Structure 1
Amino acid sequence: MQTQLAPEFAGTPEGQEAEAILRRCVHCGFCTATCPTYQLLGDELDGPRGRIYLIKQVLEGAPVTRATQQHLDRCLTCRNCETTCPSGVAYGHLLDIGRKVVEQRVARPPLQRALRALLREGLTSPLFAPAMRLGQAVRRWLPASLRAKVPPRRAPGAWPQTPRARRVLMLAGCVQPAMLPNVNAATARVLDAAGIQTLVAPKAGCCGAIRFHLDDQLGALAEMRANIDAWWPYVEPADGSPGVEAIVINASGCGVTVKDYGHQLRHDPAYAAKAARISALARDLSELLPDLLPAWQARLGGRLPDGVPPRLAYHPPCTLQHGQRLRGGVEAALRALGFEVSLPAESHLCCGSAGTYSVLQPALAGQLRERKLQHLHAAGQPQAIVSANIGCITHLQAGTPLPVRHWVELVDEALTRASPA
């Protein structure tokens, strides 16, 4: 794709990055075939190729309108187009640049600004946890639309206390400890069952994804730096002892962001090297499965304990299969443990959650959820649906009576019910 950037962008780091990405695009249109919003709306400007053209026009100095902003807003950032693209166009990074420029030039309607600010500040606030507990206490009286965003309260269970020679850090996250606390505790227990101790840095917080995708990229970079500072004593202990093996992340939306720290902070002389090291250490929990399976299989003794639902439908999150390019590992491991795992038709398509997208674009998110659940319900008569990201789990659960869980919770339940090895 030929480009001629406006003088204000030519020669800048973002302009150079955008130009390099744009020039890889060959207009083939393969991306439109796998774009969820294009499939729903049928509008070229609501598909990756159209959005690429819009961003190109913006960077070349064309007028920026509210319509431009709306087309970029409707993108789920699922990055399915990146998986499909034969030319390796880094669409996600280009979209980040385009959204930032458009946000600086187009004023949003007041109510939309207020909602985005509420999500940006509220979800990352220390007050989110007590607010969620209050919501759970009065959940039965909440309106249906709000009740769908407030999962029933569940006790997380015990956190293992036995010191282990092998140690990993875990990102607790900002929303997950309050909404689904059992996911982090279950992760610590299944790692302990394989002889690995899970540590949490007290001062680590939000990964930065929420602010980054809600018009506050500078705030997101500050959160990334704060996490690096919180994790660094565990990565490079002051006493010279070995650091942690990995930073384990069980929410794939956070994982894809932490793995991008090196890119986002590459021009920061104080943090570039540390950010690259953090990204290299970041692991989705599923990446540890080959190392964890033997201990789990020994504990289970070749069969699932009674009371554990064996038939599962698996929804692979976009941030796992497209953002991190991790496919097949969860299904293979669950099958090796004795679960019957089915992938639904159109398993490559987004469920509509996409972080705060289900709040900001409820109509599109609802259509995508209904489509996804139809396929999941038809996948092998499942007794439960499993996924690997809190956003997908809570979004899908709002539309089905079937339990929707993180896959690690089912593994934890099986190991807990089994006799100790």
Structure 2
Amino acid sequence: MQTNFSPDRLEQDRLVRQANDILRTCVHCGFCTATCPTYVLLGDELDSPRGRIYLLKDMLENDKPASKTVVRHIDRCLTCQSCMTTCPSGVDYVHLLEQGRAHIERTYKRPPMDRVVRGMLAAIIPRTGRFRLAMLGGWLVRPVARLLPGPIGAMADMARKRPALRSSINKPQVLPAQGPRRARVALMRNCVQPALNPEIDAATARLLTRLGCEVVIAEGQGCCGAVVGHMGREDEAKAFARANVRAWTAADVDRVVVNVSGCGTTVKDYGHLLADDPELAADARVIASKAVDVTELLADLGPVEPVTERRIVVAYHAACSLQHGQRVTTAPKALLEAAGFRVVTPAESHLCCGSAGTYSITQPDLSRQLRTRKAEALETLDPDVIASGNIGCLTHLAAEVGVPLVHTVQLLDWATGGPQPPALDVPPKGRGRKDARAS
């Protein structure tokens, strides 16, 4: 793609040079359109990666304020990165998108209700205590509030059960390895997981310590920064990243283990996010290189030997942030199979379920369409349980899927001597999608 950034801007601004390089990589082939969820749903060129690249090029190249049209189509992007998996030219779409979103945040004044919703999300979701209180309030008023249209109804619909009021596993501590220590690892504390499903972190800690890892819950760590980063709030995202880099550097760990794939994609990109930080750029690169999804670490540690073989059918839902953002595709399924589960994969496994962080709230109609499509693909497999590596996907799909949903690590913990995941206390295949939506 030909670009026309001014020589002065190219010389003076590293981000302008980055945008220029990314745009020049695109050859207009359109392969990305076939795997873009919003293009598959809407069929609009401007709701494809190629169309959005043209919009971003015009806005960034001319350094002009974002228009309503640009904002509408950029906001519809799920940041699923499926286009990057498909692209034969290696276009770094996600970093171009980040620049565009930051530019929108600086130059575009959103409608009042939009500003309120986005401000609430940025203030609440990255902070576990606030999120827990918000979910508790949503759970109390959900029977009425979920019927409201737009983002408010979508937020209330997230609160499908009372949030966990506390989670001891998430306080700063060091959990000793069982037997000889094989590694010292930090377990990232996610913002929403302790309130929505603290058993995921507990299962992760049990499994890692059982396999010889000393697990550190580091003092001072917090949100990865993805929520605010995807809203274009660049400074806030960097502040969260700096806090985490400092916490994990001080913890002196071999690996930073993440069991929420959306966070893992962000942490692995800290070297890029903090590239211009004079104090922490080098440490950020080190932390990014140490970051692993929990299934990557488990694969490195060796086969997960099952205590008792569980002859149940697991439909594996590949979260976009894991399969596209981190390119981790084989480890989760291989680990489940080695643990004695029969793993099946749905059609269109590359397409997003519509969760995508706050997308289910900011774009509720498109999100629901994608969820319905994914739910149908999963339930067609007639599984006993659905497993995924991202709390956002699990929570989102629970609104429509009538099959128990668990994190991959919960099944692995169960197979190797841990307790049965609480979700499996519900008889498998006991509810249909209609009943799931009504609950």
TM-score normalised over the length of structure 1? 0.90
Following TM superposition, by how much is the alpha carbon of 1:138 offset from its aligned partner in structure 2, in angstroms? 3.3
Q: Which amino acid aligns with 1:117?
A: G
AA aligned opposite 1:55: L
Q: Does 1:201 align with 2:206?
A: no
Match of 1:334 in 2: 336
**Aligned pairs for 1:135-284 within 5 A:** 135=137, 138=140, 141=143, 143-144=145-146, 145=153, 146=155, 148-152=157-161, 153=163, 161-163=175-177, 165=181, 166-235=183-252, 244-284=253-293
Give 2:435's aligned residue.
none
Match of 1:405 in 2: 406
Change in Cα spacing, 1:47 to 1:395, as seen in structure 2 (3 Å) is same
> Partner of 1:26: helix, strand, or coil?
coil
Distance 1:292 1:378 in 2: 34
The 8 Å contact of residues 6 and 59 in structure 1, kept in 2 or not, is answered as: no
Partner-residue secondary structure (3-state), 1:416: coil
Q: Is this contact kept in 2: 1:3–1:19, CA < 8 A?
A: yes
Percent of pairs with identical residues: 46
- Secondary structure at the counterpart of residue 417 of structure 2: helix
Would the aligned equivalents of 2:175 and 2:216 in 1 still touch at CA under 8 Å? no
Q: Is the 8 A contact 2:218 2:248 kept in 1?
A: yes
Rate the CA distance shift 1:154–1:343 in 2: closer, same or farther, 3 A.
Answer: farther
Alpha-carbon distance in structure 2 between the residues aligned to 1:8 and 1:395: 46
Question: How far 1:63 sits from its partner (Å)?
Answer: 6.3
Normalised to the residue count of structure 2, the TM-score between the two structures is 0.86
Query: Given the superposition, is the C-alpha separation of residues 157 and 232 from structure 1 closer, same or farther in structure 2, using an over 3 Å criterion?
Result: closer
C-alpha distance in 2 between matches for 1:347 and 1:277: 32
Residues 104/54 of structure 1: CA separation in 2 closer, same or farther (3 Å cut): same
Which residue number in structure 2 is paired with residue 109 of structure 1? 111
Decide which moves more: 183-192 or 120-129.
120-129
Gap regions ≥5 residues in structure 1: 236-243
Report the AA paired with residue 355 of structure 1: G
Distance 1:261 1:53, change over 3 A: same
Change (3 A) 1:219 1:329: same
RMSD over equivalenced CA pairs, Å: 2.3
Query: How much has 1:403 moved relative to structure 2?
Result: 1.4
| Deviation per residue, 1:240-277 (Å, 9 max, x gap) | xxxx2200000000000000000111111211100000
Residue-pair matches, total: 403
Contact 1:156 1:186 in 2 (8 A): no
Structure 2 partner of 1:350: 352
- 2:236 aligned counterpart, secondary structure: helix
Structure 2 CA distance for partners of 1:131 and 1:43, relative to 1, 3 Å: same
Distance 1:63 1:223 in 2: 27
Partners of 1:224 and 1:56 lie apart in 2 by 28
Check whether the contact 1:188–1:197 (CA below 8 A) recurs between aligned residues. no
Aligned counterparts of 2:388 and 2:158: Cα–Cα separation in 1: 17
Residue pair 2:124, 2:131 contacting (<8 A) in 1 also: no
Residues 130 and 397 of structure 1: CA distance in aligned 2, closer, same or farther (over 3 Å): closer
Matched residues in 1 for 2:315 and 2:87: separation? 27
Quote the Cα distance in structure 2 between the aligned partners of 1:63 and 1:131: 37
Aligned equivalents of 2:109 and 2:301: distance in 1?
50
Does the Cα contact within 8 Å between 1:255 and 1:283 map onto a contact in 2?
yes
Q: 1:336 to 1:102 in 2, by over 3 A?
A: same
